[in-house]
Amino acid sequence: MHEFTVARRLREVGVREYVAVHASHRRSSRSKLRDSEPLFPGYVFCFLDLRTGPRLYAIPGVLRIVGHGGRPMPIEDKEMALVRSIADSGLPVDSVPALQCGDRILLTAGPLEGLSGMFVRSAQGNKFVVSLPLLQRSLAIRVPSEWVAPQRNPC
């Protein structure tokens, strides 16, 4: 659990940090129950001014800083408050990939396991769409979100 090591190193150089954790009921690879685990594996949130704060890349374990176009981007206070409230809720939480309408997905469980299709949203919930080009038709099937994984672009 490198997140906690990086968080400790950040604290040691005076950076306020936060690792969002949630209760875990899964067994670790060491075959004992783990009390909590990171909600976002690989991520440590920190609060600093990147212009005047310590050089984060000098801290062992820091690989990247989340951003856009090579520039670090701050997470809005409203979004951090949401993360904290979910982590502190004590409710069971599963991290799932953010899917956008039209994303290619793969079913990883259930009777249709192995099929790929498109993700769509409707008033009835999230759906898996399979196209049948020869018939010029598509079928939209409601499936549990835990059966769905993003299909990686092979390029």
Under the banding of pLDDT at 50, 70 and 90, the label for residue 5 is very high
> What radius of gyration do the chain's Cα atoms show?
20
pTM confidence score: 0.60
State the pLDDT at residue 134: 59
Under the banding of pLDDT at 50, 70 and 90, the label for residue 6 is very high
Is the pLDDT score of 142 beyond 80? yes
Question: pLDDT digit string (tens) for 94-138?
Answer: 666 667 778 888 888 888 888 888 888 766 666 777 776 656 677
> Residues 119, 102: contact at Cβ < 8 Å?
yes
State the pLDDT at residue 24: 65
The residue ranges of every structural domain in the chain are 2-88, 104-150
Under the banding of pLDDT at 50, 70 and 90, the label for residue 32 is very low
